[in-house]
Amino acid sequence: MRVDVEDLVVTYGEVTALDRLSFSLEGGKIYGLLGRNGSGKTTLLSVLAAFRKESSGTVRIDGEPVFENEGLTSRVSLIRDAGETTDLGTAEDALYFAEWLRPHWDADYARSLMDLFGLTRKMSVKGMSKGMRSALGVVIGLAGRAPLTMFDESYLGMDPPARYAFYDALLADYMEHPRTIILSTHLIEEVSSLFEEVVIIGRGRLVVHEETQTLLSRGTAVTGPAERVDAFTDGLTVLGGTSLGSTKSAMVYGEIDEARRGRAAEAGLELGPIAMQDLFIHLTGDAR
């Protein structure tokens, strides 16, 4: 499903959560939605899921407005950070209502995911641990196969083995049943390999929207003798660095052309990639 957001504003009293935010997602990809606490990620996903109405601007999914659009919202799923928080009774009750709401529901896949995460249908939702509740939310999000599926930190309560099982299951099912998936997360290094494109927002505004590889190509680690590293990086945007004796490694933001790469080789410097988390910290580190 295609997502188009134009000049989106959402306010809570005198607080502006989203400030003229605009971007478009062509659909059929896995997108990473990144931002610091308070950046507006949860508000944005709530608007996309029609849980909240925009104050101004437009939000369209496949060309249709979202809010109070019953025919559209059945094809949009948002699993929030607390997992399956509706205290319906048992996990079986939660799955029943999910199947009722989701026209693309796959009951067999839901059963296999319940087994994967060690959940039983007779478990009380209210009595579940946070990790179990998160896992139940993941089951509902994946088995629903909504054309637009969004996870808002919904797997944070799961332990690392369960989270990695989720990542594997998501990628495998996406390959078999392509759809638009948005993952909002702070666990950037764990999940970034899944992202085809990345949207970063800060203080309610768009900071970056790029293909993952394009974004990663903007960061370079320069390693070698300290004085040569300093000379090479003079005039470039240096994000930070570390030193060990006479050796220094500096993180640089900005594309390095072939001529400059040649000079690095002549100086005996090693050029390498930077992790997405380091780029994220730089891009969201000020008030922009």
Q: What is the pLDDT of residue 84?
A: 54
Q: 9 with 73, same domain?
A: yes
Task: Looking at the structure, tell me whether residues 128 and 255 fall in a common domain.
Answer: no
116 plus 252 within the same structural domain: no
Choose one of 185, 211, 237: the last residue of a domain: 211
- Same structural domain for residues 171 and 233? no
Give the number of domains in the chain: 2
Answer for the pair 267, 233: CB distance below 8 angstroms, yes or no.
Answer: no
| 133 falls within a domain | yes
Write down which residue in 155, 176, 211 finishes a domain. 211
C-alpha span between 49 and 67 (Å, rounded): 8
- pLDDT at site 82: 66
pLDDT at 287: 40
Please tell me the predicted confidence (pLDDT) of residue 288: 40
Q: Are residues 170 and 238 in the same domain?
A: no
Same domain, residue pair 173 and 268: no
- CATH number at 109 reads 3.40.50.300
- Residue 15 domain-assigned (yes or no): yes
pLDDT of residue 241: 86
Residues 274, 151: one domain? no
Residue 78 lies in a domain: yes
| Below-50 pLDDT ranges, the chain | 287-288
Residue 288 forms part of a structural domain: no
Please name which of 141, 135, 139, 144 lies closest in space to residue 103, comparing C-alpha atoms. Answer: 144
Rounded Cα–Cα distance for residues 220 and 234 (Å) = 14
Q: What is the pLDDT of residues 57-95, one digit of tens each?
A: 999 999 999 999 988 999 999 998 765 555 678 999 999
Q: Give the C-alpha separation, 9 to 17, whole Å.
A: 7
Strand 247-253 relative to strand 237-244: parallel, antiparallel, unpaired? antiparallel
Same domain, 142 and 74: yes
Residue with tokens 């997405």: 276
Domain span including residue 75 = 3-211
Q: At what angle do helices 160-176 and 130-144 cross, to 10 degrees?
A: 0
Residues 231 and 126 in one domain: no
The pLDDT assigned to 85 comes to: 54
Q: Is 151 helix (H, G, I), strand (E, B) or coil?
A: strand
Indicate the length of the chain as a whole number: 288
Q: How many of the other CB atoms lie within 10 Å of CB of 79?
A: 27
Residues 223 and 92 in one domain: no
How far apart, in Å, are the Cα atoms of 7 and each of 20, 22, 55, 56, 238? Answer: 4, 5, 10, 7, 32
Return the number of other C-beta atoms located less than 10 Å from residue 156's C-beta: 16
63 & 130 share domain = yes
